Structure 1
Amino acid sequence: MRDRIALIDYGAGNLRSVENALRAAGAGAIDVTADPNAVRTADRVVLPGVGAFAACMGALSAIDGMIAAMDEAVHGRGMPFLGICVGMQLLADAGHEYGRHAGLGWIGGDVRLMRPHDPALKIPHMGWNDVRPSRPHPLIVPGEAYYLHSYAFEVSDPADVLALTEHGAPVTAAVGRDNVVGVQFHPEKSQAYGLAFLEKFLAWRP
């Protein structure tokens, strides 16, 4: 029997694209859901995210019981978790977009506006760029993926950085600890690399 995946619907992600990519990668039962009970009992949890940190965190917090359900599934039961783009950034202690806003605090650090050393480089960081593993991890291999973001995760503990990319300065491409992984790139837009990444996530038994 295939794992049941909770793809969290909090009004802040390109859900159908992520759902289609997960199906293409071999996922079975996918619940696109705003129901905390579905998240609490899922075998895997995926949190997408597009937009401003504060708006996304506010939308997630507005679903009664959702953050507690995520915590129970991920930290209580040890289910694999994947955060995508802003879904990764929400793992931080705080985001600094239009003020300071608390995040989930699952991975220490802050999300701040990117400041490339070369002022000619544009923000947002958009398009294809590399994924350079920082340490061995079963989900992360070298390659190229699709990015679209203006803010980056400045991680407190270098051991939590799984991969970097470059946009005028090193930029966190992936973070992880135990059964939690977050990626700044969009697997659902990263073609063969993204599909292979999602296949690894679906098979991952941390």
Structure 2
Amino acid sequence: MNVTIVDYNSGNISSVINSFKEVAKDEVSIEVTSDLKKIKSSDKVVLPGQGSFKSCVDALTSINGLVDTLNEFVIDNKKPLLGICVGLQMFADIGYEEIETKGLGWISGKVSKIDNQNNKYKLPHIGWNQINIVKESKIFKNIENNSHMYFVHSYEFIPEDKNVISATTDYSSNIVCSVEKENIFGTQFHPEKSDKTGLQMIQNFISL
């Protein structure tokens, strides 16, 4: 089995790579690439994302054929994909960071700035916070409700269909921090920075 982490120059993804390699040991091949052929032939794909919605979308679209390849992988072939942080946000139809930017449109919804209630809450939302698991999700196997995960973000994904939400976190309001729709999984938090609980989640994704 092989898992591909898409490297499209979206910031530092070394901790994502290291944590997947740690979990995979020698049993699963972890490849880091933007090579379209390798992405197509992989069993699972991880789409990380750091920085702004616009910068990540721009980086993704600047690699010729990459968006089409990901669409084919996820929508046509229904293979498992995990989006992390902005990787999840790009599932949306549209994002409003910097300027209005079109997303991948895999899960209908929008990405808006967290309402910090007139500076009552600091942005970015950064550090450890509890997650509230709201529906059974394959990636939360053996993870207790109210576990702590590591966050760093100022924008939130608001899906149209609330049934895709698998976990929320409380920061100024109920923020969507995990989604699952068929073969598409996404987390707003960083499993690769979330200690043993995060590694368990990575294990769950690899074992799907």
Q: TM-score range by the shorter chain?
A: over 0.9
Question: Which residue of 2 is the match for residue 199 of structure 1?
Answer: 203
TM-score, L = length of structure 1? 0.94
Moved over 3 A (4+): none
Are the aligned partners of 1:36 and 1:65 in contact in 2 as well (CA < 8 Å)?
yes
Give me the whole-angstrom Cα distance separating, in 2, the residues matched to 1:83 and 1:202.
Answer: 13
Asked if residue 171 in structure 1 is aligned to residue 175 in structure 2, the reply is yes
Output aligned runs, 1:121-136, within 5 Å: 121-136=121-136
Which ranges in structure 2 are unaligned for 5 or more consecutive residues? none
Identity rate of aligned residues, in percent?
36
Gaps in structure 1 of 5+ consecutive residues: none
Contact 2:24 2:30 in 1 (8 A): no
1:38 corresponding residue in structure 2:
38
The size of the alignment, in residue pairs, is 202
Whole-angstrom distance in 2 between the partners of 1:62 and 1:26: 30
Q: Is the 8 A contact 1:117 1:169 kept in 2?
A: no
Kindly indicate whether the alpha-carbon contact (under 8 Å) linking 1:78 and 1:179 is maintained by their aligned counterparts in 2: yes
Residues 49-198 of structure 1 aligned to structure 2 (within 5 Å): 49-117=49-117, 119-140=119-140, 141=143, 142=145, 143-198=147-202
In 1: Cα distance, 2:81 partner to 2:96 partner = 24
Alpha-carbon shift at residue 176 of structure 1 (Å)? 1.6
Residues 44 and 79 of structure 2 are in contact (CA less than 8 Å); yes or no, is this contact kept in structure 1? yes
Aligned partner of residue 60 in structure 2, secondary structure: helix
The answer as to whether partners of 2:3 and 2:206 remain within 8 angstroms in 1 is no
Counterpart check, 1:20 vs 2:23? no
Amino acid at match of 2:175: V
Q: Deviation at 1:76? A: 2.1
Q: Using the alignment, how far apart are the partners of 2:40 and 2:68 within structure 1?
A: 8
Instruction: Using the TM superposition, name which of 67-76 and 123-132 deviates more.
Output: 67-76
RMSD: 1.2
